[in-house]
Structure 1
Amino acid sequence: MSMNRLRRTTPTLRAVLTVLLLVGGVSVLAAPAQAAGTLGSLTIEPSSGNLSSVITVQTPGACDQGTNIKATVTGTGVVAGTENIVGNTPISSFPSNSAGGFNVQLTETFASFAALQSPAITTYSGAYTITVICKNAIGASTYGTFEGTVYFIGTTNTWQSTPPPPAPTVVTAAVRTGTAQVTKTQTCSATFTDATTLAYAWLNNGVPIVGATASTYTLPSSLYSRTISCRVTATNVTGSISSTSAGAVVAAGPKPTLTKAPYTYGTFKVGYTVKTTNGSWSLSRLTYSYQWKRNGVAISGSAARKYNYKLVSADRGRYITCTVKVSKAGYASNSATTARKKVA
Structure 2
Amino acid sequence: MRALVTGAAGFIGSHLVERLLADGHAVIGVDDLSTGGRANLPGHAAEFRFVQGTVLDASLIDDLVSEVDVVFHLAAAVGAFVIQERTLRSLLTNVHGTENVLDSAHRNGVRVLVASTSEIYGKNTKVGLTESDDRLVGSPLKTRWTYSEAKAIDESLTCSYVRELGLDAVIVRLFNTVGPRQSGRYGMVIPRLVNQALHERPLTVFGTGRQVRCFCHVQDVVPALVRLAQAREVNGIAVNLGSTEQVSILELATRVLELTGSGSGIVKMSYEEAYGAGYEDLQRRVPDCTRARELIGFRPERTLDDIIRAVIDEQTRTAQVVTA
TM-score bin, normalised by smaller chain: under 0.3
Higher helix share: 2
TM-score (norm 1): 0.17
TM-score (norm 2): 0.18
Higher relative contact order (CA 8 A, sep 6+): 2
- Higher-Rg structure is 1
Higher strand share: 1
